[in-house]
Structure 1
Amino acid sequence: MRHPSPHCTARASALLLAVSSLAACGGGNDTRAPDIPRLSAATPGSYGGECEALATTLAGLPNTTITAATTVAAGALTVGGQAVAEHCRVTGRMFERIGPIDGATYAISFELRLPKAWNGRFFHQGNGGLDGNVVTATGSFGGGPLTHALHQGFAVLSSDAGHAGPTPSFGRDPQARLDYGYQAVGKLTPMAKEAIRRVYGKAPDRSYFGGCSNGGRHAMVAAARYTQDYDGILAGAPGFNLPLAAVANIWGAQRYATVATDPTNLSTAFTASERELVSQAVLDRCDALDGAEDGIVQDTTACQSAFDLMRDVPTCSGARDGTCLSADQKTVIASIFEGARTSGGTRFYASFPYDPGLRGSGVGFWEFTAPLALDSGAVGIVFKAPPENPIGFNGPAFALNTPVDTLYEFIHSTSLSYTESAMSFMTPPNPSDLSTLRNRGGKMIVYHGVSDAIFSVDDTTRWYEALSANHGGDASNFARVFRVPGMGHCSGGPSTDQFDVITPLVQWVEQGVAPDRIVASARGAGNPGGTNTEVPGDWAADRTRPLCPYPKVARYSGSGSLESAESFVCQ
């Protein structure tokens, strides 16, 4: 076991941290803004009769075709080894049409899961990537969840956001682009609420929107565009600047290509052993900054000053062998962590923090595969006006050979048929002004892995600082950001990545209890929600840590087990 460091100061610096407790931990009452109303608590309900009869009950919903209503027995779904109660799965589609450009059939397909015993709440689940699939509407969150919205009794909706298949070919259809960006949410929300009203005899008392990655982007967009429709917003790893992040990731791939030893394998630019080397160097410099040498860097902000890639990682004097980085590698890696820039040197996306989670297996995918296989198609076909032809589109060639300035122009482009740019239809308008959400009593929780390699936690921090500046210098009375040290994109990495974020959000919205400390757990061997193989072997399998609201940092109190959240305080 590692031991507390006697050399650590208690400097209260930060950049984000925090989110969620398996035991639904909360903080103090939200009394700092008496002008913000407290919304009333939801009251439960239930539906009588047979689930299959709900297809008739829901017939005639505007612009909607109900395709099935099927009973899902108690225990047919489980989460963390626990049975999900009996519920009705309703499937359907909205606004079915033929695309005028490609002749393809489009519709907003969905499933709505309605618990027999309902808690009075609605959860709209935002899904990830390019959407295109109707995934199981559970409203899950955190790595290997032990609970989710459906398990807690919410009515939960998921959709494909208006197109079939997780490929970028839908980008040829102007309306499909807009549905993917934001309009599907605007169409689905009233339909789902009316369906709930018909089934339970009342509309949902409280409505929540949540998701991670692109789902987190959907949540951020809902907070800005559909403020009156949702009382609580849960945004994980929010790619709210997704077009910029995609171009930045391609730019990073172009940089990596200059130092790759195998031109056909981008990962040879920065191998797994070399990432492990840098991760250990970050730990050596930064582990003790929070008062404990425990394999977690809690004080991310202080670490960026304490760690120096050029100084703290050996420079190769000969061939690369995993124990050093070449001078050219260091230059490339440092530039990527500093943030993507145009050819003129203007930075257009955020920096990335150095963190021990760099050793995580997911980092390699996002750094070396995603730019060529995912971001290229998104930028070239979904975000560009007019789009590239999907037939014969070569993602790697497009990504590696298109100048960054041209890619940047693509995501701002419009045409007669494609009247909104990607930076318009994909991002929340004026995201630093959420006064409408605040003034009606809505609340927002954002969580983000510090080692997320595709959407930077620094971008989320920058947004939150702007949000605070626009709301009297402190947005914490209605919005809080929590970063998860070591965690990669939405989950994984050497981290405590298992947490319940929805319970604290409901408590905040409906009881006025702000989340000041939320406990997260590691998923070592035997975890009922699934094992995270990247949990270090010298950690307890069930290690816990508090996640603290930005700008606070979890610091060791000076006594107690390093495996327990109770030994750490948020300062």
Structure 2
Amino acid sequence: MRLFQWTLPALLVGLAGCASAPPPASAPASAPTPARPGVATADCAALQSVGYPGLRITAVEAVAAGSLKLPGIASPMPAHCVVKGRLNERRSPVDGKDYAIGFEMRLPAQWNGRFFYQANGGLDGFVTPAYGNILGGGPLSNGLLKGFAVLSSDAGHAFERSNPVIGAAVFGRDPQARLDYGYNAVAQLTPMARALIAAHYGRGPDKAYLVGTSNGGRHGLVAAARDSGGYDGILATTPGYRLPLAAIAQVWGAQQFAAVARTKRADGVPDLETSLTPAEMATVARAVLARCDALDGLRDGLVQDLAACQKAFDPQRDLPLCPAPATEGADCLAAARRDALATVLRGPSLYSGLAWDPGLAGRNWREWKFTNSIGPRDAIALAFVFTTPPMSPEVISGAGTTVPDYALRFDVQRDGAKVHARDSVYTQSAMDFMTPPEPTELRSFVQRGGKLLVAHGSADPVFSVLDTIRWYEGFQRVHGERAADSARLFVVPGMNHSSGGPAPDQFDMVDALVAWVERGQAPEQVVASVRGPGNATPNPEVPADWSPTRTRLLCPWPSVARYRGQGDPEQAASFQCVR
């Protein structure tokens, strides 16, 4: 089996990279320096009158210490100001609708001297509370609690509530809204946020960090490639850095599953949930474990040597076939279902395949593959945001042309080419505005000493961990032995999309990033925990035979966490990162 698939466009990019001069060494210009704590020099009300071009403050509120408590986090939030506003309000000449970059900032009274851009996920469109989510499953803290000034935004558009089926994506009919969503909102909001911070604390932040998962992780890689905002550190988990191609792979995969669906829904669409049942996916997980669990030196229900597993596992040989249709769903798969699954994991030619991992049996894996692929996420993103020209809302809402119909009839060759298309109105293609330019180089970011941490679940059903590994290994080829001075990738075994699955998905890489940026302590390992019974936010997919407090090492790729041969196998201290 091939671990990675190279498409012609990717090969051409690689050849172009070989022809250019390599970037200079990635050492920062000066020694790391820590941020200086500070306190507010004005009250919250004063933020109402801050002047900045194109800014309109819509609300300011003072939140008392201890009055706000968040689920799963033991400590209440500190005293802080909440500022809400809109930047660059305008009316679209294309669809006639009003747009702006909506945002929220939370500025703690006791400030750690740092700025935290909370890059949100999905199709954006909502201003989520600016708490400074630190990613993974069930976080125990957040950026606000740690003392960061935090910003969150809707990336330049609002969810259209009048049309709940496609309302998250119809902003894609406005060319500027596409650009704001792709990269421009970060570039526009960052200097504005710095101005608000300076107004409140009497000085700007000493250090700036951008943190996001999924589409937020994509925002992170794009910000690093474009060097938007001059961020000192970026934490990107589950980064969909080639999101338009991943969306195509999603609807293409839905078509493969539709061919083996057992029943149809009430609307006549194949019920993808019946293509592979939870019992059948559990059979797949057991087969992967049987072949791959011990490759890392310990049978513990986790596949930590991901690369070795992709070479060792053969679905034709290792997935058990049912002798007759009547035996389906117990401990075997029908040949057609096995082949459909193998095809989906191999992937279409334009995007990397998915990894064989026991996390394929995760609930989130099913949600993305059997629901989101033909419904509220991937199909509408393709129809309105990623293809040029976009669909008309009227065209995709009639009988026989619903969102699932669009997904199941999407032609990878014919329609897939539209993510590269431009015209006189949409002058940048989806691959222009959504993906990081020259993603394996990050020249400006590297040259000035920026630090990038990336984490990705090995059983992500939508953004392939193999695609992220492919990016990182390209980065290593460009930067050579200095690559690890600027960027490191951590694979989380068993984790689905951003969290969940049978996985140690509770971890805090924000502290690790700050230590790297400000103290020069590059992360050699990160300790992650499972969320078993008794956890503040338990994960019901933690196997019953694991310790509810199991910990594991996450290692920088390509290192693998291996058991030392002695010590408690439920504790991270009994493992070491080995190349």
TM over 0.5: yes
Structure 2 partner of 1:555: 562
Q: Is residue 268 from structure 1 mapped to residue 313 from structure 2 by the alignment?
A: no
- Closer, same or farther in 2 for the Cα pair 1:67/1:227, shift >3 Å? closer
- Tell me the SS of whatever aligns to 2:480: coil
Distance apart, 1:38 and its partner CA = 3.2
Residues 38, 509 of structure 1: 8 Å contact kept: no
Structure 2 partner of 1:468: 476
- Tell me which amino acid in the other structure corresponds to 1:371: S
Q: Compare 238-247 and 468-477 and name the one that shifted more.
A: 468-477
Instruction: Return the alpha-carbon distance in structure 2 between the equivalents of residues 513 and 434 of structure 1.
Output: 21
The aligned runs of 1:282-431 (5 Å cut-off) are 282-319=288-325, 320-340=328-348, 347-373=349-375, 374-393=377-396, 394-431=402-439
Residues 346, 354 of structure 2: 8 Å contact kept: yes
Name which of 93, 99, 106 aligns with 1:113: 106
Distance apart, 1:69 and its partner CA = 1.1
Structure 2 partner of 1:77: 69
- Tell me which amino acid in the other structure corresponds to 1:548: C
Residues 190, 229 of structure 2: 8 Å contact kept: no
Q: Is residue 491 from structure 1 mapped to residue 499 from structure 2 by the alignment?
A: yes
Instruction: Return the alpha-carbon distance in structure 2 between the equivalents of residues 55 and 301 of structure 1.
Output: 53
- Closer, same or farther in 2 for the Cα pair 1:293/1:227, shift >3 Å? same
- Tell me which amino acid in the other structure corresponds to 1:388: M
- Closer, same or farther in 2 for the Cα pair 1:472/1:227, shift >3 Å? farther
Distance apart, 1:489 and its partner CA = 0.3
The aligned runs of 1:10-409 (5 Å cut-off) are 37-56=30-49, 58=50, 60-75=51-66, 76-78=68-70, 80-140=73-133, 141-165=135-159, 167-227=168-228, 229-263=230-264, 264-319=270-325, 320-340=328-348, 347-373=349-375, 374-393=377-396, 394-409=402-417
Structure 2 partner of 1:4: none
Instruction: Return the alpha-carbon distance in structure 1 between the equivalents of residues 296 and 388 of structure 2.
Output: 48
- Closer, same or farther in 2 for the Cα pair 1:190/1:418, shift >3 Å? same
Instruction: Return the alpha-carbon distance in structure 1 between the equivalents of residues 203 and 150 of structure 2.
Output: 16
- Closer, same or farther in 2 for the Cα pair 1:336/1:40, shift >3 Å? same
- Closer, same or farther in 2 for the Cα pair 1:36/1:290, shift >3 Å? farther
Residues 227, 436 of structure 1: 8 Å contact kept: no
Residues 80, 147 of structure 1: 8 Å contact kept: yes
More relative contact order, 1 or 2 (CA 8 Å, 6+ apart) = 1
- Tell me which amino acid in the other structure corresponds to 2:294: A
- Closer, same or farther in 2 for the Cα pair 1:241/1:327, shift >3 Å? same
Residues 26, 482 of structure 2: 8 Å contact kept: no
Percent identity at matched positions? Answer: 50
Distance apart, 1:511 and its partner CA = 0.6
Distance apart, 1:49 and its partner CA = 4.3
Instruction: Return the alpha-carbon distance in structure 2 between the equivalents of residues 308 and 74 of structure 1.
Output: 56
- Tell me the SS of whatever aligns to 2:87: strand
Residues 47, 196 of structure 2: 8 Å contact kept: no
Instruction: Return the alpha-carbon distance in structure 2 between the equivalents of residues 132 and 411 of structure 1.
Output: 21
Distance apart, 1:539 and its partner CA = 1.0
Instruction: Return the alpha-carbon distance in structure 1 between the equivalents of residues 417 and 529 of structure 2.
Output: 43
Residues 187, 228 of structure 2: 8 Å contact kept: no
- Tell me which amino acid in the other structure corresponds to 1:217: R
Distance apart, 1:68 and its partner CA = 1.2
Instruction: Return the alpha-carbon distance in structure 2 between the equivalents of residues 242 and 450 of structure 1.
Output: 17
Instruction: Return the alpha-carbon distance in structure 1 between the equivalents of residues 415 and 443 of structure 2.
Output: 33
Q: Compare 202-211 and 66-75 and name the one that shifted more.
A: 66-75
Instruction: Return the alpha-carbon distance in structure 1 between the equivalents of residues 424 and 444 of structure 2.
Output: 33
- Tell me the SS of whatever aligns to 2:333: coil
Q: Note the alpha carbon deviations across 1:337-367, whole angstroms, 9 max, x for none.
A: 1121xxxxxx110021110111110001111
Q: How many residues are treated as equivalent by the alignment?
A: 533
Instruction: Return the alpha-carbon distance in structure 1 between the equivalents of residues 427 and 47 of structure 2.
Output: 39
Moved over 4 A (4+): 32-36
Distance apart, 1:70 and its partner CA = 0.5
Instruction: Return the alpha-carbon distance in structure 1 between the equivalents of residues 410 and 570 of structure 2.
Output: 48
Distance apart, 1:99 and its partner CA = 1.6
The aligned runs of 1:431-510 (5 Å cut-off) are 431-510=439-518
Q: CA RMSD in A?
A: 1.6
Instruction: Return the alpha-carbon distance in structure 1 between the equivalents of residues 431 and 58 of structure 2.
Output: 35
Instruction: Return the alpha-carbon distance in structure 2 between the equivalents of residues 257 and 216 of structure 1.
Output: 30
- Tell me which amino acid in the other structure corresponds to 1:223: A
Structure 1 partner of 2:545: 538
Instruction: Return the alpha-carbon distance in structure 2 between the equivalents of residues 127 and 228 of structure 1.
Output: 17
- Tell me which amino acid in the other structure corresponds to 2:56: T
- Tell me which amino acid in the other structure corresponds to 1:70: E
Residues 122, 156 of structure 1: 8 Å contact kept: yes
- Tell me which amino acid in the other structure corresponds to 1:276: A
Q: Note the alpha carbon deviations across 1:227-252, whole angstroms, 9 max, x for none.
A: 56101010010001000000011111
Q: Note the alpha carbon deviations across 1:56-76, whole angstroms, 9 max, x for none.
A: 2x2x21100001110122231
- Tell me which amino acid in the other structure corresponds to 1:270: L
Q: Note the alpha carbon deviations across 1:189-234, whole angstroms, 9 max, x for none.
A: 1100111111111111100111000000001110011356101010
- Tell me which amino acid in the other structure corresponds to 1:256: F
Structure 1 partner of 2:531: 523
- Tell me which amino acid in the other structure corresponds to 1:136: P
Instruction: Return the alpha-carbon distance in structure 1 between the equivalents of residues 171 and 132 of structure 2.
Output: 25
- Tell me which amino acid in the other structure corresponds to 2:253: G
The gaps in structure 2 that reach 5 residues or longer are: 5-24, 160-166, 265-269, 397-401
Distance apart, 1:109 and its partner CA = 0.5
- Tell me which amino acid in the other structure corresponds to 2:461: A
Instruction: Return the alpha-carbon distance in structure 2 between the equivalents of residues 399 and 262 of structure 1.
Output: 18
- Tell me the SS of whatever aligns to 2:569: coil
Instruction: Return the alpha-carbon distance in structure 1 between the equivalents of residues 425 and 364 of structure 2.
Output: 37
Q: Compare 203-212 and 258-267 and name the one that shifted more.
A: 258-267
Q: Compare 296-305 and 487-496 and name the one that shifted more.
A: 296-305
Instruction: Return the alpha-carbon distance in structure 2 between the equivalents of residues 443 and 392 of structure 1.
Output: 45
- Tell me the SS of whatever aligns to 1:480: strand
- Tell me which amino acid in the other structure corresponds to 2:362: G
- Tell me the SS of whatever aligns to 2:476: helix
Q: Note the alpha carbon deviations across 1:522-546, whole angstroms, 9 max, x for none.
A: 1111212x11111111111111001
Instruction: Return the alpha-carbon distance in structure 2 between the equivalents of residues 489 and 249 of structure 1.
Output: 13
Distance apart, 1:132 and its partner CA = 0.2
Instruction: Return the alpha-carbon distance in structure 2 between the equivalents of residues 206 and 162 of structure 1.
Output: 25
- Closer, same or farther in 2 for the Cα pair 1:327/1:36, shift >3 Å? farther
- Tell me which amino acid in the other structure corresponds to 2:382: V
Q: Note the alpha carbon deviations across 1:258-296, whole angstroms, 9 max, x for none.
A: 111114301211221111100011111111111111111
Distance apart, 1:37 and its partner CA = 3.7
Instruction: Return the alpha-carbon distance in structure 2 between the equivalents of residues 315 and 526 of structure 1.
Output: 39
- Tell me the SS of whatever aligns to 1:273: helix
- Tell me the SS of whatever aligns to 2:436: coil
